[in-house]
A and B are shown apart, each in its own frame.
Chain A
């Protein structure tokens, strides 16, 4: 079977596994669902009322039947009702998702804008002082958790300039783009910081590999200017690992947004998961986790497809 077909076939299987894991994990929460829903008021229920509620929510049925009807619901876009918000979980998730998506996209831009030139620069000055400096910065960048970056940025701004970047109501992109970008740029830098470091390291090593290839030497010996060799001949081939990394990291950015959104008080998907966990809103936890995992898998699938397009050698390799 070709790589592509196998990859497409495993996607629904993995997604099914994810749904099983998420469903049964939430069912393992200690205590029954009705108490979780009603809190202390559940103590006032008579056994008959309790049984009626259990029948209403379908939790008196065998667990596999419950899973099946839940799965059918999920396939039709029904992720359950959030107890705290009193709305369908999917509606809340879709309200919060654009912010997280924008944050992830912006931090990816930050990472590529900083990381690619830095990596190419370091590769062309291999083993010189400037290369060493870039590598040290990249290593430190990779070792700094994003919430530490965020806290340090906030501290530097408030101590140095007396500004508190977290203040004010959040403005959506299409209401007031300028104000929105102003609010999002620091979170994007925070989230993209470690990613920029990874991009620097991987583009440096990919560029070094490509620069030692024969065709680059041929181009140089034909008298093509150095700058043109680097940007026109070498870079496109060095981009393949960067694309893979970016795709994989993009999925992580969606998840890593939890901490950054928390620090900058942004009402995104990551913060929604956290609130749902802290408030024990299990339908919402379940919905959010499923939604993020789905996106993560889709992005990974797209990256693999893109990778195949970029590098035809993969299509033929069987691997295991």
Chain B
């Protein structure tokens, strides 16, 4: 509760938090089918209909309601973003913690593999994975998760190493606390702050990556909707049906903005040291 209050009393936290909450509601509605129209239904007479009381954001080339597709697409994009970041956070935390704890060969192996993964620009590594497995929603989840795992591993390993060297960990060891207890209670709990910030920012990046992949036709496959896919559909029609471009474009921008603002606010709240030097 105090965390929520802190977020909402921070200027960018208030805006970011509100945006993210609103999007989550829209995403849930869109995924559970509570939309103005069926996102897949084609109203053939009303093809490329401009926004009106019936079709709030107009219709596309097949007469499908843009508002409903947008809600569904936000749900789809959020699903991919949340799943991939959840996987990356879990994998990165386990790898980072064990690398810091066991050190030596395991640490060397894990960190060198992460170095190799970080040697690719994010979208390129995702493209390589998709080239191998084939495009699809769950491929993009896996691809984005693999792309962002190294970042979480690094975020966890550094602080974990310094916490491991602190006296209270030695004390816990001499008391006979089990390895698992020390790793989860002493190390992990102290890493919650940097991890929370990283999760929020990673959500923004993965929304961006997902939109890019589905724009290229390598993410979510039609007839399902996703924000990137809707933008790709709008490319040849933007002059006649600008609503097909504007609404998804603004939806992507604001969602990423929301997570970025929230991430900045969390960084200020949880880690005052970085307040000034943060990019």
Chain A interface residues toward B at CB < 8 A: 10, 13-15, 17-18, 20-22, 25-26, 28-30, 139-140, 142-145, 147-148, 151-152, 154-155, 158-159, 198, 201-202, 205, 208-209, 241, 245, 251-252, 254-256, 258-259, 262-263, 273-274, 276-278, 282, 285, 289, 292-293, 296-297, 320
Contact = CB atoms under 8 A, between A and B. Distances in A.
Given A18-B116, A277-B218, A296-B119, A145 B208 contact: yes
Given A18-B116, A29-B131, A258-B127, 9 more contacts: A10-B115, A26-B132, A147-B211, A151-B245, A205-B277, A205-B279, A255-B124, A273-B124, A289-B120
A147 B242 contact: no
B6 interface: no
Interface string B186-217: 00000000000000000010001001100111
Given A25-B128, A201-B279, A277-B130, A147 B215 contact: yes
B102 to A, nearest CB: 15
A290 to B, nearest CB: 10
A145 B235 CA distance: 15
A139 B257 contact: yes
B129 interface: yes
20 contacts: A17-B113, A22-B128, A139-B12, A140-B257, A145-B253, A147-B231, A148-B253, A151-B238, A158-B239, A198-B279, A205-B278, A255-B120, A255-B123, A259-B215, A263-B235, A274-B127, A277-B127, A282-B131, A289-B120, A289-B127
Contacts of A320: 158, 161
Contact of A297 (B119, B123, B231): B119
A-B pairs, 3 with minimum CB distance: A255-B121, A17-B116, A143-B257
The A interface is mostly helix, strand or loop, or mixed, namely helix
A142 B260 contact: yes
B contact residues, range: 35 or more
A254 B238 contact: no
B115 A251 contact: no
Contacts of A293: 119-120, 124
Contacts of B179: none
B44 interface: no
Best-surrounded residue of A13, A143, A273 (most CB of chain B within 10 A) = A143
A262 B120 contact: no
Contacts of B124: 255, 258, 273, 289, 292-293
Nearest to A22: B128
Nearest to B251: A148
Contact of B260 (A25, A143, A158, A259): A143
Nearest to A20: B116
B173 interface: no
A158 B249 contact: no
B237 to A, nearest CB: 11
A155 B115 contact: no
Contacts of B116: 14, 17-18, 20-21
Contacts of A297: 119
Contacts of B245: 151-152, 155
